[in-house]
């Protein structure tokens, strides 16, 4: 686990760490923001952000290699989730920097803890501001409809917002970056994709099976003794469910270690977004962001190439969620 993850683990639990009925009660407070209808309404904003970021990269392309992670994969999902939450535009750069420090896997414990505290303090102030001055955003809904009615404490609201900010950032950075790497590693499929971007939804479904940007997130603690697969998990013991391994199950997916965007994938059988009542609340948003992010790149700069050999790509540490920490490219 990254130092930022360790720091966040000390925070008060949110719905992802709760059992029923508390889990669903808190989850339902924010579900509306990630519905298919609401996500579809965000498409023009996400597309505009993607185009602006590509414009900026093209303007810099004459100066040498560009870090795809820093210039595109990081800011795109960051700006999206911040808009949903209601973060003022002038604070986007500051918050993106703090979030990157706590989640990039290379920060020291002190740096990650400091960034964690900074984010919590900032979000606490924003929640209190929305209690006094409502806006048109998710934080306002929590403040006006949940805190004021006594359904949610101010502290719990801050933790929920923190969860959404972090989950809507780091994992998406990973998946967008891994999506580009995977496409470049499969040139025939990439060529077909560039010719027909209507294939993008199938590419995204296969990407979410092939990679999992939050592979370390499914942590569970046994409440009673459980025997599973001939092994006893005692009450109080913890496990990390290997969802990524499940997505490579040859009994479900033929040739699972091969990336095939033409694969007939049943999203319900894929574990990239979890399973059951704890399945990721933002699955619709995540797939939409990946689709727009990569389609924009393949449409606007189809000749994009890595500026380094595949073997030199800087992946995140093996103890962290799979991702790419930097990705030099040439347009």
Please list the active-site residues.
Answer: 171, 214, 280, 321
DSSP letters, 87-133, are --GGGHHHHHHHHHHHHSS-S-HHHHHHHHHHHHHHHHHHHHHHHHS
Tokens of 11: 């925070």
**Backbone angle region of 244, left / alpha / beta, with phi > 0 → left and psi within -120 to 50 → alpha:** alpha
DSSP letters, 307-331, are SS-GGG-EEPPTTS-S-EEE-EEE-
Q: Spell out where 188-280 has E strands.
A: 219-221, 226-228, 231-233, 238-240
CA distance 213 to 256: 17
CA distance 171 to 323: 8
Torsion, CA 51, CA 289, CA 39, CA 247, rounded to 10: 170
Q: Spell out where the chain has E strands.
A: 66-67, 219-221, 226-228, 231-233, 238-240, 305-306, 314-315, 324-326, 328-330
**CA-based nearest residue to 73, from 324, 331, 330:** 324
CB 229 within 8 A of CB 239: no
């Amino acid at each position: 686990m990254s130092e930022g993850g360790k720091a966040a683990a000390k925070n008060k639990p949110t719905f992802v760490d709760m059992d029923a009925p508390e889990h669903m009660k808190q989850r339902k407070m924010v579900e509306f923001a990630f519905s298919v209808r609401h996500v579809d309404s965000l498409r023009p904003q996400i597309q505009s952000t993607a185009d602006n970021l590509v414009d900026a990269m093209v303007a810099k392309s004459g100066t040498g290699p560009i870090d795809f992670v820093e210039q595109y994969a990081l800011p795109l999902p960051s700006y999206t989730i911040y808009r949903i939450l209601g973060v003022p535009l002038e604070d986007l750069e500051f918050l993106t920097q703090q979030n990157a420090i706590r989640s990039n896997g290379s920060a020291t414990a002190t740096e990650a803890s400091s960034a964690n505290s900074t984010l919590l303090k900032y979000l606490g102030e924003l929640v209190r501001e929305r209690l006094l001055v409502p806006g048109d955003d998710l934080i306002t809904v929590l403040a006006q409809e949940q805190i004021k009615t006594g359904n949610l404490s101010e502290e719990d609201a801050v933790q929920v917002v923190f969860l959404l900010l972090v989950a809507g950032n780091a994992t998406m950075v990973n998946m967008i970056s891994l999506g580009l790497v995977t496409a470049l590693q499969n040139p025939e499929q990439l060529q077909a994709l560039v010719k027909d971007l209507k294939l993008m939804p199938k590419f995204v479904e296969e990407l979410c099976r092939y990679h999992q940007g939050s592979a370390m997130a499914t942590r569970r603690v046994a409440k009673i003794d459980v025997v599973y697969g001939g092994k006893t998990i005692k009450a109080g013991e913890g496990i990390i469910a290997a969802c990524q391994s499940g997505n490579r199950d040859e009994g479900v997916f033929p040739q699972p270690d091969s990336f095939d965007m033409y694969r007939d994938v049943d999203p319900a059988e894929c574990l990239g977004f979890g399973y059951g009542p704890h399945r990721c609340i933002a699955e619709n948003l995540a797939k939409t962001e990946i689709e727009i992010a990569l389609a924009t790149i393949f449409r606007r700069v189809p000749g994009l190439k890595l500026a380094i050999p595949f073997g030199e790509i800087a992946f995140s540490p093996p103890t962290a969620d799979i991702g790419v920490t930097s990705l030099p490219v040439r347009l």
